[in-house]
Chain A
Amino acid sequence: MTEPVRIQEQDFSQDAEIAALKAASKRMGGIATFLGCARDFSEGRDVSEISFEAYGSMALAEMRKLREEAIKKFDLLDARIVHRVTTVQAGDNIVFIAAGAAHRGPAFDACRWMIDELKQRVPIWKKEVTPHGESWVTQHP
């Protein structure tokens, strides 16, 4: 069984993550997931690839805290957060979040809350590579 919170270079399997989440409890009646993937267009220009950088130890600690907080706040049965830190091409997976609860409401709410909080709190940065050069992304759309 893989760790529920991970930072890794390699791609992840949504099926494997959901299976691991479901294995946590048979009382799970609703699972909400968020998959963040790379776009080939941003701020009016083509993007050929995106590279990520993280303050690894702090990012992992913050993601673990975030999961614990979500489980308490939304009464989840389990949650998982996986973020890739590498260089990705358009269409590639970046981040996966899953929230499992007894019912769909808390699962949806928790999933949205976790990705929003991750963007605000976890020290990861993305740099977009375009035909005109590279630039760090600073906004939180």
Chain B
Amino acid sequence: MIKVLFFGPVADRVQTREMDIEYATGMTLHDITHKVGMLYPGALSIVSFIAVNQEQVHDKQTALNDNDEIAFMAKFSGG
């Protein structure tokens, strides 16, 4: 299972903070972003960063493993 997390403005837009997606062999980050985009049209437009297991990832072809944690995040505004 892949755990998908949403925070801040993104969580508000998708109206949830967490969802699980069934893992399949050969799955990439692109598969997850595509699925999230289909489920929540418009949500990805405010996503500036994606993290896999707490590390920012820029390559959508990044291979995923079962139990990975993926976070969709808007631009940060701490401090």
- Which residues does A use to contact B, with CB under 8 Å? 36, 52-55, 57-59, 61, 83, 94-95, 115, 118-127, 136-140
Smallest CB gap from A126: residue in B: B77
Contact check, A53 vs B76: say whether CB atoms are below 8 A apart: no
The verdict on A136 contacting B77 (CB below 8 Å), with A55-B7, A55-B71, A123-B71 known, is yes
**Are B79's CB and A58's CB within 8 A?**
no
Q: B49 near A136 (CB under 8 angstroms)? A: no
Which listed residue, A55, A119, A123, A138, touches B79 by the CB 8 Å rule? A119
Q: How many chain B residues have a CB neighbour from A under 8 Å? A: 18
Chain B contact residues, majority secondary structure? mixed
5 nearest A-B residue pairs (beta carbon): A124-B78, A125-B8, A58-B54, A136-B9, A137-B77
When the two chains form their complex, are residues A57 and B76 in contact, meaning their CB atoms are under 8 A apart?
no
Min Cβ gap B13→A in Å is: 10
Q: Is B51 an interface residue (CB 8 A)?
A: yes
Q: Is the CB of A55 within 8 A of B75?
A: no
Pairwise interchain contact B78-A138, C-beta atoms closer than 8 A = no
Please give, as numbers and ranges, the residues of chain A lying within 8 Å of B79 by CB-CB distance: 36, 83, 94-95, 115, 118-119, 122, 124
With the chains together, A120 CA to B77 CA distance in Å? 8
Tell me, in angstroms, the Cα distance from A58 to B52 when the chains sit together. Answer: 10
B7 CB contacts on chain A under 8 angstroms: 53-55, 123, 125
In the complex, chain B residues 39-57 whose Cβ is within 8 Å of any chain A Cβ: 49, 51, 54-55
Q: Are B51 and A125 in contact (CB-based, < 8 A)?
A: no
Contacts of B71 in A (CB 8 A): 55, 58, 123
**Nearest Cβ distance between residue A130 and chain B, in whole angstroms?**
15
B3 to chain A, nearest CB (A): 12
Q: How far is the CA of A58 from the CA of B73 in the complex (A)?
A: 12
Q: Judge whether B9 and A118 touch: CB under 8 Å.
A: no
